[in-house]
Amino acid sequence: MKSTPLPIHKLASDLGLRASGNPIASILAFCDRKVEGFLNEMDRCDSLADFLKWVEARVGTKFYCIRTENDLRSIVAEYVARGEKVFAGLEAELSDDVYGITYRLQNAEAIAPPFISIIDCRREKGSRAYFTKWHEIAHLLTLTDQQRLRFTRSHSEADKKDPEERLMDIIAGKFGFYDRIFHKTVSGNISFSELERVRQELCPEASLQSSLISFIKYWPMPCIYLRADIGLNRREKQAADQGTFDFLDVPVPVLRAVEVSVNERAREDGFQLFPNMRIPESSIVQTVFSNGCGSANSIEDFREWNSRSSGNVSIEARFRNGVEVLITPH
């Protein structure tokens, strides 16, 4: 078992949490108590978008979405004129791999939020705006150093490896798709159309892929999501990378589950599949992939997918970035 990085232990300690063998769980529980308190303060909450606006105010920030260069110049001019000199460097801060940045204001009015969060929505960054907002909120939920003036959300290699930044992503994923709100909206069996309905109703700003994965994670019935595409298994990849195959032994890629996400209810029920497994030749998934378009539904024997399992499963497959598949007990 990997040990928890020291910065996470320190963060837990700075938050006043008792030392434990699982400081990540302690920090998540700490945030959960805060966020649940915010939710309880609302008279009514019908969407994750409404909840985001409420939490934005409760953690003391204000979001500015930058969609054009004019938006950027305008926000810089406004806050530099207010004496917030740090904004003069905002354009340089928003490099290609920086998606959001939060500043502590030095000259905030008494009734104004003490923070400003800039969300870069230009070009391809726009699809990640919803998650970027929650990442900035995660920092504010766990803020302990009152002298800290700024923090960013980036996709730099350094931040991907930083344990605190990874934890902020976990917090953002949990509360950006908060199950206490999400479960009130779920009705009926899961399907791609139902997932999209829930997204449009709860958080239309969220990206298709992030909402799909998160909703499946919290869906109150067992479900497996996978993406099927042509690929090699791990042993074949390693051998190919090492150049150990001679001409006659070059492996033939087959349709495999290149991504697999099993939700908690499925794991509890022993309903399981694994990455890189071959897609059964008899499955409707093979047909959709061969067609190169469209979608299809079928009832299949789960033993064909996992020889240690039994019973029938419902399959929904659609051609999108390979074939996306939802599998549920029938």
Q: In which domain, by residue range, is 18 found?
A: 6-177
Same domain, 172 and 26: yes
Q: Is residue 206 part of a domain?
A: no
Q: How many CA atoms lie within 13 A of 19 on its CB side?
A: 2
- Output the six-digit token pair for 117: 């969060």
3-state secondary structure of 171: helix
Is residue 198 assigned to a domain? no
> 138 near 168, Cβ under 8 Å?
yes
> Structurally, how many domains does the chain consist of?
2
Residues 6+ apart with CB under 8 A from 115: 59, 60, 61, 62, 102, 103, 104, 105, 140
In a domain, 231, yes or no: yes
Indicate the SS3 state at residue 21: coil
Report the 10 Å Cβ neighbour count for 50. 15
Beta bridge partners of 255: 230
Could you tell me if 146 and 256 lie in one domain?
no
Helix (H) or strand (E) holding 194, with range, is helix 192-202
Claim to verify: residue 91 and residue 160 sit in the same structural domain = yes
The Cα 287–Cα 261 span in angstroms is: 22
Paired with 314 in beta bridges are: 299, 328
Verify that 166 and 296 share a domain, yes or no: no
Note down pLDDT in tens along the chain; length 330 residues.
Answer: 468 889 899 999 999 998 677 999 999 999 999 999 999 999 999 899 999 999 999 999 999 999 999 999 999 999 999 999 999 999 999 998 999 999 999 988 888 899 999 999 999 999 899 999 999 999 999 998 655 767 777 776 667 788 999 999 999 999 999 988 988 888 778 999 999 999 999 999 999 888 999 999 989 899 999 999 998 777 766 666 665 555 556 667 899 999 999 999 999 999 999 999 999 999 999 999 999 999 999 999 999 999 988 899 999 999 998 999 999 998
Q: Is 186 helix (H, G, I), strand (E, B) or coil?
A: coil
Identity (one letter) of the amino acid at 308? R
Is the domain of 23 the same as that of 168?
A: yes
138 assigned to some structural domain? yes
Residue 71 lies in a domain: yes
Q: How far is CA 154 from the centre of its chain?
A: 14
User: Is there a domain that residue 170 lies in?
Assistant: yes
